[in-house]
Amino acid sequence: MISAIIIDDELINISNLKALLTRHCPQIEVIASATSADEARTAVLSLQPDVLFLDIEMPGKNGFDFLKSLKNPEFDVVFVTAYDTYGIMAIKFSALDYLLKPINVAELKSTINKIERSVSIKKENLRLNNLLQLLDKKTVDDSQKIALPTQKETYLVPVKEIVSCESSNNYTTFYLTNGAEYVISKPLYEYEELLSPYGFIRCHQSHLVNKTHIGSIRNEDSGYLIMNPIARKVPISKQRKSAIKSLLSINFRTLM
């Protein structure tokens, strides 16, 4: 879902746009609305939306004044106005798009397509920047977070809260200490080099585990790791027994 805030000094306009988005653009979630620049500032700073639908003509501070009051905004802006004289000014403010009231449904859908592309690019850049930061780190910081981009949204997860990762074709499922599971459309090998400096080890072709969460080793088949705190059972492949033995400094002769 793409989060949005509607800013307009007339409640009827907010209601109408919200209805259009609900009916024609279900991928947009309106998380708040505001009828003034001051009210909007509070909502934007606290909720960090993906996009603003911003009226230009408002009493007190207009839409442009409102944008000037924010430092380094990361959201997209779609100006919504009854006046067609603001087009050049909207371009100067790097608006993603410009909608005239009354809003045409076809134009709204076109705008939403632009929003989806923009948000997707930003989230992918966030993920890549996060990966690069991790790879460039000279020392391990257990407070470091990793971006996990699911189909729904991108989650920023502390590395220390990842219990294990399991691959399935070109997808990887991340299992967290709180029981959450995130399915990422990336293969496991892309994360192995990234997470190795943080104590993650490849115990099986399809499994990567966080060494700090290994609770016990079970003597069944080729052996299993029991991962805390979620009691997840992860297999150890025969080919990786010796590597696991070395990494964990454990005598496996009595276990396997």
pLDDT value of residue 138: 47
The alpha carbon of 133 is separated from its chain's Cα centroid by a whole number of angstroms, namely 16
pLDDT value of residue 130: 59
Helix (H, G, I), strand (E, B) or coil at 98: strand
Contact partners, residue 229, CB within 8 Å, separation at least 6: 163, 177, 213
Return the amino acid letter for 56.
Answer: I
Judge residue 70's burial from the number of C-beta atoms within 10 Å of its C-beta, 0-12 exposed, 13-18 middle, 19 or more buried: middle
Tell me the torsion sign for CA atoms 243, 221, 230, 176. positive
Which helix (H) or strand (E) is 248 found in, with range?
helix 241-248
pLDDT value of residue 254: 40
List pLDDT tens digits, range 70-107.
877 788 899 888 876 665 555 555 578 888 889 999 99
pLDDT value of residue 252: 42
Domains and CATH numbers, the chain: 2-123 (3.40.50.2300), 140-248 (2.40.50.1020)
pLDDT value of residue 137: 52
Query: What gap in Å lies between CA 94 and CA 200, rounded to an integer?
Result: 43
pLDDT value of residue 91: 54
**Residue segments in the chain with a per-residue pLDDT below the cut of 70:** 84-94, 124-142, 245-256
Is 0.75 surpassed by the pTM of this model?
no
pLDDT value of residue 93: 56
